[in-house]
Amino acid sequence: MNQGHKILVVGSANTDMVIRVEKFPAPGETLSGHNFLLNAGGKGANQAVAAARLGGKVAMMARLGNDLFGKQTIENFKKEGLNVEGVVLDNKLPSGVAQIVVDKSGENTIVVAGGSNLALNTRQVNKYYSLVQEAEVILLQLEVPMETVLYVAQKATGLGKKVILNPAPANKLSDKLYASIYAITPNETETKFLTGINITGEKSAQHAADFFHDKGVKVVIITLGAAGAFLSTPDYSGTIATSEVEAVDTTAAGDTFNGALATALSNKMDWEEAVAFANKAASLSVTKHGAQASVPFLKDLNV
């Protein structure tokens, strides 16, 4: 067991089945793909691996099927140096899988079958509650049941932990959940879904950030792809730019950003430094193919 973790990621773990194509198929259209890849993925797992590779001490709480994919995932977690005490094999449900199609520009479409991820429940959280107690930063997403996300957020906030919610895939959030998170990290699409505001510049980004602040969220980070990220805190408001790179696959960019952000905060960076660090990591991730395969290591950032 890896003692002394500072980051706990509670979330999904999937096996990604990736097909590369020239263009996305239209409804009813069949296309020939260039190649097929089988990769470790899932938003929770991607973020945990990113945090660990970038220097964080990370524990993972997840639920996998007691099948080949699940067993491979646990072994991968161990190789990445994650604390896997809170990872459970489910004897009834299969491991989660995702079908990802990537076009020639690096954009992607993803369909997820949640499987055992959907059984990560509050009983499991209670069984491994010491992981919540020991962490400083708790990172959550929305590929596991909302009831579990809310439960962890409330418990962690009650313990004085910094709870970061990456609201992906987009889903409506309750006022109880907003009140229980310290920071939220939507992208532009998720921001519009949650606030109804289309991000067209800093003025609209601040307007959207104020929506979240009014719900009780102290720190808002709206990721803007190649433009970087808009940060709004009690002390700072503005866009933090990122490096210009040639993107080949954006699959893990958001997850890399969130994992890097958690690591930066656990290492006591301020929010501006943390977002700049996360931007740099995310920009490197889009220059490689795959989900976890594209996540950079700390040495790659030259910091």
Catalytic residue positions, numbered: 255
Taking a C-beta distance cutoff of 8 angstroms, is the pair 131, 61 a contact?
yes
- State the binding site: 14-16, 42-46, 143, 187, 223-228, 249, 251, 254-255, 279, 285, 288, 290, 294
Taking a C-beta distance cutoff of 8 angstroms, is the pair 99, 68 a contact?
no
Query: For 196, what's the count of Cα atoms within 13 Å in the CB-facing half-sphere?
Result: 1
- State the binding site for K(+): 249, 251, 285, 288, 290, 294
- State the binding site for ATP: 187, 223-228, 254-255, 279
Backbone φ and ψ of 263, nearest 5°: -65, -45
Q: Which residues contact 281 (CB under 8 A, 6 or more apart)?
A: 50, 54, 256, 257, 259, 260, 295, 296, 301
Which token pair is 282? 């995310």
Closest to 208 measured CA to CA, from 200, 219, 197, 218: 197
Q: Rounded to 5 degrees, what angle do the CA atoms 133, 138, 144 make? A: 110
Q: What is the DSSP string of 5-49?
A: --EEEE---EEEEEEE-SSPPPTT-----S-EEEEEE-HHHHHHH
The 10 Å CB-count burial string (b at 16+, else e) for 150-162 is: bbbbbbbbeeebb
Region at 290 (left for phi over 0; alpha for psi -120 to 50; beta for the rest): left
CA distance 185 to 165: 6
Q: Rounded to 5 degrees, what angle do the CA atoms 170, 89, 54 make? A: 60
- State the binding site for substrate: 14-16, 42-46, 143, 255
